Amino acid sequence: MTVVDRLLAFSGLLNKLHVQYAQFPCSHSIPNTALDIAPPCATPVIQAVYDARQNAQQARIEALQAEVKELQKTLGEGENAEQIVSKHIKLLHRYNEAKDATQILIGKLAAYRQATIRQVHNDFGLTDED
């Protein structure tokens, strides 16, 4: 379990403490249902839990930003995702057309040799995955 995972799990404790804390609000507290803002009169324990949750969220944000940067390096800066997907689809179509044409030729060669397609595949060292 990573530090981020532990901190996120620890944030569940914040929810439990908030429910307990809400039963005994201080006189100048404000409603805090979103748990985004620590109550103004938070005890040290509640403040520590709140800080841990904030740190976990910040660590998660930083991890996601690092992942985005890494993916942008891999794909190229400023590349349009739709263009990349479109290019890959076109390449897959070209590959499939070439493979289909090859299978047709292998079938004709097998008929000419009066052999099975599997025998022709074996003659050329082709596997079932090819």
Each residue's pLDDT tens digit, 39-96: 566 677 777 788 888 889 999 999 999 998 888 787 777 777 788 889 999 999 999 9
CB-based burial of residue 54 (10 Å sphere; 0-12 exposed, 13-18 middle, 19+ buried)?
Answer: middle
How far apart CA 4 and CA 54 sit, in angstroms, is: 11
Q: Determine the average pLDDT of the residues in 110-120.
A: 93
**How many residues are there in the chain?**
130
How far apart CA 117 and CA 106 sit, in angstroms, is: 7
How far apart CA 77 and CA 70 sit, in angstroms, is: 10
The single residue listed with the structure tokens 């740190």 is: 55
| 103 — pLDDT class (breaks 50, 70, 90) | very high
Q: Which of 12, 21, 10, 9 is nearest to 46 (CA)?
A: 21
Kindly report the pTM of this predicted structure: 0.42
How far apart CA 10 and CA 53 sit, in angstroms, is: 7
Predicted pLDDT at 17: 57
Q: Name the residue type at position 12.
A: G
The single residue listed with the structure tokens 């074996």 is: 122
Residue 29 φ/ψ region, left for φ over 0, alpha for ψ in the -120 to 50 degree band, beta for the rest: beta
Predicted pLDDT at 118: 92
